[in-house]
Amino acid sequence: MSLCTEAELRAALGVGSLYSSATLQTTCDAADDVILPMLWANYEFNSAHSNTTTEGTLYFDFDITDVFYVGQVVTISQNGSPFNGSKTLTAVGEDSITFAVTGSPTATVKHACVPFGKVAGTSNVDWTADSAVQEAALMIAVDIWQARQTTSSGGVAVDFQPSPWKMGSGLLARVRGLLAHTLDPRSMVG
């Protein structure tokens, strides 16, 4: 579910039925793509992977013995086949996790995963229930919509001078106060 719904965006913009739901939903999805990576969540990034024909192993650049445990179900993404998907961990080392893979893949040696892969545990937070996060998502969705509709409008810099970068780093900065209690300490600094 989106942090900002299509109906909320439609009402905020006052566009009635002028645009299709699918068109407005892409803007809501873009707002999610901006905000969700910044929110604190139960995931870690792996830097490499390898596999045999029956097992996959993901490698980390830090000690993960207190992060994951044998029998834990994790959701793996950004690693490609045969790693991605919901997996049950069969071994946890100091800097690696191992799990069964399906489909009898070709064995591969340890190699870098660029960009980093993502290993997510069970989520304990529903950000769609946090009103500050929802408001931030709506504000970003409105900015994205307006930038798309009037591309030459630009933004306003801190010194109140016109700026052509409405979709620049200031986009997230405008809602950082609303998101302050939710920001992941591992997220982008600045």
Same domain, 114 and 47: yes
Task: Return the closest-CA partner of residue 44 out of 113, 111, 102, 108.
Answer: 113
CATH of the domain at 105: 2.40.30.20
92 and 67 in one domain? yes
Range of the domain at 30: 6-40+125-179
| CA-closest candidate to residue 123, choices 42, 64, 68, 184 | 42
| 118 contacts 49 by C-beta, under 8 angstroms | no
pLDDT by 10s per residue, the chain, length 190: 689 999 999 999 999 889 999 999 999 999 999 999 899 999 999 999 999 999 999 999 999 999 999 999 999 999 999 999 999 999 999 999 999 999 889 999 999 999 999 999 998 889 999 999 999 999 999 988 888 776 555 555 566 665 556 677 778 888 988 999 999 888 765 5
In-domain check, residue 36: yes
pTM for this predicted structure: 0.76
Q: Is residue 184 part of a domain?
A: no
What's the domain count of the chain?
A: 2
How many whole angstroms separate alpha carbon 121 and alpha carbon 189?
A: 24
